[in-house]
Structure 1
């Protein structure tokens, strides 16, 4: 996968200290990773780079929303996304990104790409089950919910109309005895 140029930060010309970078993340960013669960995205990302003599500390702070489909009704809604992620970049013999909070780049490097850290921190911060807020407070009106309600009412009416006590098959009676003989 190609690196996105806007997420490559050239650090060789930067002085020691803190540096800020601002990004606007949209759906196109997630399509680059072949992640298609978002209908749209509007996320503001603030990157704080604290450059020191032997390492660099990155703090990613993001907030915004992504439009996703509800896991219950499949209705689209805006899911709030906010969080932060901190990782360290050190210099070593060869590139190593096996540790999630530590990136090792070779001594001759003059830039670092942070796109993978941005992608993972946002996607992993989303809830595993996305439920439309209208379902929780009962304000969502949808055809699917209406149909579910219609079907659930029929099942309760059938239970009411069914006789509670009546002749049963003797085979079931003997099986019920097994449950009660514990």
Structure 2
């Protein structure tokens, strides 16, 4: 996959110590990875890097919102996203990024591209089910939601959920009789 140059951090000219970089992540970033779950996104990423003699320590912190479709009603809403991830970059004989917490780049490298770590950190921080806040608090009015409520098990006609098994009633009496 082609690297996005804005996520390539040149470290060769930097002094040892802490450095900070800020990025604005929009929909183009996710389109580059062919990730189509977002309608739009506005995420601010702060990258903290500590340069040491033999390694680089990265701390990714992001916060923002992603415009997504609700999994229940398909209504569009802004999902707040935030999270962080730390990883280390060391030097070795060849490039290796199979470990999520350790990236190895070849000796003599003067820059590191962090786009894959940024992408994975954001996507993996998302909830598995994206539910519109209006569904949770009951304020969303939607035809789909009305139909789901109509078809739910608790609202079916002829529901005998109030009737209990008499055997259970007898067992419950044992708890109250002393």
> How high is the TM-score relative to the length of structure 1?
0.83
Q: Which runs of 4+ in 1 moved over 4 A?
A: 150-153
> Residue by residue, what CA displacement relative to the aligned partner does 1:15-62 show, whole Å, maximum 9, x if unpaired?
101111000001110000000000110000000110000000000000
Aligned to 1:97, the other structure's residue is in SS state strand
Aligned to 1:34: 34
- Write the distance in 1 (CA, Å) between the matches of 2:18 and 2:152: 59
In 2 relative to 1, CA 98–150 (structure 1 residues): closer, same or farther, beyond 3 Å? closer
Aligned to 1:133: 133
1:149-164 to 2 correspondences below 5 Å: 149-151=149-151, 156-157=156-157, 159=158
Q: When the two structures are aligned, how many residues end up with a matched partner?
A: 158
Instruction: Determine whether 1:44 maps to 2:70.
Output: no
5+ long unaligned stretches in structure 1: 161-182
> How high is the TM-score relative to the length of structure 2?
0.85
- Write the distance in 2 (CA, Å) between the matches of 1:93 and 1:119: 25
Q: CA RMSD in A?
A: 1.4
Larger Rg: 1
- Cα drift, residue 146 of structure 1: 2.2
5+ long unaligned stretches in structure 2: 160-178
- Write the distance in 2 (CA, Å) between the matches of 1:119 and 1:86: 13
